[in-house]
Amino acid sequence: MSARTAIPNARMIAEFRDRLAAARLELARGVARTDADLETIAAHESREIAEDAATGTVGALLGRLEGQARHELDEIDSAQARLEAGVFGVCEGCRRPITLERLRVMLRARYCSQCQTYPETEKVA
């Protein structure tokens, strides 16, 4: 596994794409206020939520997010962008792959456990 491609195969890429889409769907469900909102969500598959969020049908729901939920959506968007760019699962600190176990537990992880625990400013040479 190279540092550029932390997720080794298409099956894993599809798994994380689906998991990120499901996380987006959960956020949309959290802000649904009316039966019409819930029907809009039910009419979409979770992958379609990820693809369609910027086009309006679900985007309006996600646009209602504030605070921590908005931060979570931003992190999901960032993780999806990293996945599409081929750098999902690459530590932003040391550039080494993040373990699959960590990614499965912390879907939006940007750092390996070592860099998360000991940020660059605290590392001893």
Q: Which one is predicted more confidently, 91 or 31? A: 91
| Whole-number Å distance between alpha carbons of 60 and 50 | 13
State the pLDDT at residue 71: 82
Query: Are the C-beta atoms of 76 and 27 separated by less than 8 Å?
Result: yes
Domains and CATH numbers, the chain: 10-122 (1.20.120.910)
Q: Which one is predicted more confidently, 117 or 38? A: 117
User: 3-state SS string over the chain?
Assistant: CCCCCCCCCHHHHHHHHHHHHHHHHHHHHHHCCCHHHHHHHHCCCHHHHHHHHHHCCCHHHHCCCCHHHHHHHHHHHHHHHHHHHCCCCECCCCCCECCHHHHHHCCCCCCCHHHHHCCHHHCCC
Per-residue pLDDT of 76-106, as tens digits, reads 889 999 998 999 999 999 999 999 999 999 9
Q: Check pLDDT > 90 for residue 110.
A: yes
pTM score:
0.66
State the pLDDT at residue 105: 92
Question: What is each CA distance from 21 to 1, 17, 71, in whole angstroms?
Answer: 25, 6, 16
Q: Which one is predicted more confidently, 50 or 76? A: 76
State the pLDDT at residue 57: 57
